[in-house]
Amino acid sequence: MNVRSNGPNFMQAAMNTKRNLVTAALVAPAAAWLCIFLVLPFIAMLVFAFGERAPEGGYQAAFTFAQFAKLPTRAAAFWNTLVLAPAGALLCLLVAYPVAYYLAVRANPRYRLILVSLVVVPFWTSLLVRTYAWMYILGSRGIPNLLAMIGIEDVRMLNTPGAVLLGIVYGYLPLMIMPIYVSLEKLDRRLLEASADLGARPVSTFFGVTLPLSLPGVMTGVALVTILLLGEYLIPQLLGGGKVFFIGNALVDLFLQSRNWPFGSAIAVTLVAVVVVVLMVAMRIAWKVAGTRQVDLV
Amino acid sequence: MTKWYRENAPITADKLADELMRLKRGSITRRHFLGVTGLGLATAVLARQPGLFNSTAFAGDLGTQMSIATWPNYHDPATFEAFTAATGVAVEVNVFGSNEEMLAKLQAGGTGWDLFVPTNYTISTYAKLGLIDELDLSKLPNYDASTETARFTNEGIVDGKTYAVPKNWGTTGIAVNSSKIKTPVTSWKEFFDVAMTEADGRAMVHDYQLTTIGNALVSLGFSFNSVKPDELAKAEELLIKVKPHLYAINSDYQPSMRATDAWMTMCWTNDGAQLNRDMPEIQFLLGKDGGEIWSDFYAIPKSAANKAAGYALLNYLMTPENAVKEHVANGAPTTDSRVLKLLPAEVTSNKIVYPDEAALTPLEFGAAVTLTDPGRAELMARFKSA
């Protein structure tokens, strides 16, 4: 810009046009993608949500709020989702933080890359297969069988909310570890030394320096995992035995069994609204906690 | 569009060599190769001459893969392997736990199935919605309507047109692990009672409105097929009361029964026969208060991409010799007297597979109305999300 600032005006205008064209060309694929696969389906969903179920199932045009009036019949599924999703995310956080701390601060830098990739390796196997493995570990022939050997009889693990929570923590742990690891890795070691020089014990250094500086990563991880969990279907289906029901499961049922597209759409729209609210609240808390620092939420 | 002047001319030697190399490199499919070279047509024509080629039954282009939608534990994997060996067509098997799920997929479109296994009460709806083809019986020489039992096969015929041919018949009964549960279970009423007491946390119901709601209705003394709101409300009350005591809601119950995670389940004949064969302590019985008798069919979706292979596999499965092997493996009774004759005595004398006529009397065939009734669909969805 400054090079051309004293040149003729039309040249600058041409530069600007070119620059805008390049920007447009770079943004176009993502914009088109989002429009076709996010905005249009969402509009279709909104339209469906005010329609009626056709006699043989599916959708037929109408304008009614009847679908939204039926939302309370899925209260249990909303409740399960809104309780187990944040609970799962917090449990993930408790397990993930020490791991991320070790990887970023304590681990020998020579092995750090290997250790970090070990966190990611489970992603090479489908979550479906890994969740099936948990079905066998938690089933009668797994841990309950071992417990029976030491005299603790008749323990049931599979198809309980606890099993679902375990599956969630297992499945989503890497998504929590990585953002925390990244923010801890950027931590300036001199701050820790300064804290120690000024007489702080390691514990107060952790709570006064390390933890606050890693909060952006923590917030990113919690938001990421919570949002993904709000749409979770697979883990409750396999480890909950069709009894621990998330909104995702209710949606699958409505589209793939009852063929009630309008009601399914109404629930999906409501879920999107809930996710937006949760996200806004999370961001507000994040800003408050992190002060004026920018928080890189997803 | 105008045609290139050589388009219909025979392929030149150079072009054939070219295409052959492309096929060997994997740049084109076998199907494309046979098409552009005319070899596919030539094979089809020559294959009609008896004795020239051996695989006359599979003349024509079947492609290299097809897809079938069916139920859990309902086929002998060896059957599909043998079909692939004979035809070069690989079979992808999709397993479903309810007819409603199959209907939902077909309504949404793009299933990719070339053959599927719907149950008796659904055929008329599929035909009405135009989701399945009327079958071209000339492509199924191994099917013989005269040897079928009309009681089980009549629902495949809608308005005089054959839309589906029978696979097996069977019942929906109760499987009980007798080494774990001592209370005798002989009816659906006792099934739900025991599910809340001795089998607390160990009983399973299907993820399927027809049988789960139907058997709850039967236990209350109503018809298996009821769509009356007051009767459905009582069934819902019972199901919601039972739900906290259930082990799971799942139509694929064999793994849980075999692992003894579950001790009692709603169970189809074929699963009952398989479980009892491998674990004699698992007994299969029919509710003396009622329940379901069914017949399953093969049908071809209108949207099938590879109908030729669909027909070929269907014809293969209709061959009595192949049907016998399937029967011995999966344990579902046959509707075809040709197959019945070929069966070993230990199968035909198995009371799980071929129960006495008296035990079948209280049972009901599923009714078409239950498939599309919004009350039943919503009840099931509410029960699951409760």
Which ipTM value was assigned to this complex?
0.81
- The residue assigned the tokens 């249990």 is A76
Q: Are residues A152 and A10 in the same domain?
A: no
Strands B157-158 and B115-116: unpaired
| CB-based contact, B102 to chain A, within 8 Å | no
Give the CATH number of the domain where residue A91 resides. Answer: 1.10.3720.10
- A56 and B381 within 8 Å at the Cβ level: the answer is no
CA-nearest residue to B253 within chain A is: A241
Greater model confidence, B56 or A166: A166
Q: Quick check: B30 pLDDT over 60?
A: yes
Nearest CB among B104, B243, B247 relative to A259 is that of B104
CA-nearest of B332, B331, B329, B328 to B343 is B328
Q: Are residues A107 and A176 in the same domain?
A: yes
Q: What mean pLDDT do residues B57-74 have?
A: 84
For residue range B154-186, list pLDDT tens digits in order.
999 999 999 999 999 999 999 999 999 999 999
Give pLDDT, residue B51.
41
Give pLDDT, residue B5.
47
How many cross-chain Cβ pairs, A to B, lie less than 8 Å apart?
86
Strands B90-95 and B65-70: parallel
Q: Are residues A32 and A178 in the same domain?
A: no
| CB-based contact, A233 to chain B, within 8 Å | no
| CB-based contact, A56 to chain B, within 8 Å | yes
| CB-based contact, B247 to chain A, within 8 Å | yes
- A260 and B246 within 8 Å at the Cβ level: the answer is no
Residue at A187 is within a domain = yes
Structure-token pair, residue B141: 């020489």
Give pLDDT, residue A293.
52
| CB-based contact, A77 to chain B, within 8 Å | yes
| CB-based contact, B42 to chain A, within 8 Å | no
Q: What's the domain count of chain A? A: 2
The answer to whether A267 and A250 have CB atoms below 8 angstroms apart is yes
Q: Are residues A128 and A251 in the same domain?
A: yes
Give pLDDT, residue B120.
96
Residue at A80 is within a domain = yes
Q: What mean pLDDT do residues B321-333 have?
A: 94
Greater model confidence, B286 or A83: B286
Give pLDDT, residue B361.
94
Residue at A44 is within a domain = no
d(CA B279, CA B276) in angstroms, rounded, equals 5
Nearest CB among B103, B248, B259 relative to A242 is that of B248
Q: Are residues A98 and A227 in the same domain?
A: yes
Give pLDDT, residue B32.
62
Q: Are residues A181 and A228 in the same domain?
A: yes
Give pLDDT, residue A288.
76
CA-nearest residue to B243 within chain A is: A243
Residue at A67 is within a domain = no
Q: Are residues A26 and A133 in the same domain?
A: no
Q: Quick check: B55 pLDDT over 60?
A: no
Give pLDDT, residue B211.
97
| CB-based contact, A74 to chain B, within 8 Å | yes
Structure-token pair, residue A143: 């841990």
Q: Which residues contact B209 (CB under 8 A, 6 or more apart)?
A: A257, B98, B100, B370, B376, B377, B379, B380
- B384 and A253 within 8 Å at the Cβ level: the answer is yes
d(CA B279, CA B283) in angstroms, rounded, equals 9
Residue at A54 is within a domain = no
DSSP one-letter code for B142:
T
CA-nearest of A283, A141, A171, A151 to A235 is A171
Interface test with B, best of A132, A159, A244 (most B CBs within 10 A): A159
Give pLDDT, residue B56.
42
Q: Are residues A35 and A87 in the same domain?
A: no
d(CA B122, CA B157) in angstroms, rounded, equals 12
- B104 and A241 within 8 Å at the Cβ level: the answer is no
Residue at A184 is within a domain = yes
CA-nearest of A273, A229, A274 to A46 is A273
- Predicted TM-score (pTM) of the model is 0.82
Q: Quick check: B26 pLDDT over 70?
A: no
Give pLDDT, residue A1.
44
| CB-based contact, B64 to chain A, within 8 Å | no
Residues of B in contact with A242 (CB under 8 A): 207, 248-250, 384
| CB-based contact, B265 to chain A, within 8 Å | no
Domain boundaries, position A14: 3-39
For residue range A120-130, list pLDDT tens digits in order.
888 888 999 99
- Mean pLDDT is lowest, of B7-16, B101-110, B337-346, for B7-16
Residue at A55 is within a domain = no
- The residue assigned the tokens 């920018």 is A294
| CB-based contact, A298 to chain B, within 8 Å | no
Q: Are residues A139 and A245 in the same domain?
A: yes
Nearest CB among A55, A73, A139 relative to B372 is that of A55
Give pLDDT, residue A14.
82
Nearest CB among B125, B129, B385 relative to A74 is that of B385
Looking at CA atoms only, how far is residue B100 from chain A in angstroms? 5
3-state per-residue secondary structure call for chain A: CHHHCCCCHHHHHHHHHHHHHHHHHHHHHHHHHHHHHHHHHHHHHHHHHCCECCCCCECECCCCCHHHHCHHHHHHHHHHHHHHHHHHHHHHHHHHHHHHHHHHHHCCHHHHHHHHHHHHHHHHCCHHHHHHHHHHHHCCCCHHHHHHHCCCCCCCCCCCHHHHHHHHHHHHHHHHHHHHHHHHHCCCHHHHHHHHHCCCCHHHHHHHHHHHHHHHHHHHHHHHHHHHHHCCCHHHHHHCCCCCCCHHHHHHHHHHCCCEHHHHHHHHHHHHHHHHHHHHHHHHHHHHHHCCCCCCCC
B336 DSSP β-pair partners: B148
Residue B112: which region, alpha, beta or left (left: phi > 0; alpha: psi -120 to 50)?
A: left
Q: Which residues of chain A have pLDDT under 50?
A: 1-5, 295-298
CA-nearest residue to B200 within chain A is: A156
Q: Are residues A99 and A193 in the same domain?
A: yes
Residue at A95 is within a domain = yes
Greater model confidence, A293 or B218: B218
Q: Are residues A90 and A19 in the same domain?
A: no
Q: Are residues A102 and A33 in the same domain?
A: no
For residue range B67-95, list pLDDT tens digits in order.
999 999 999 999 999 999 999 999 999 99
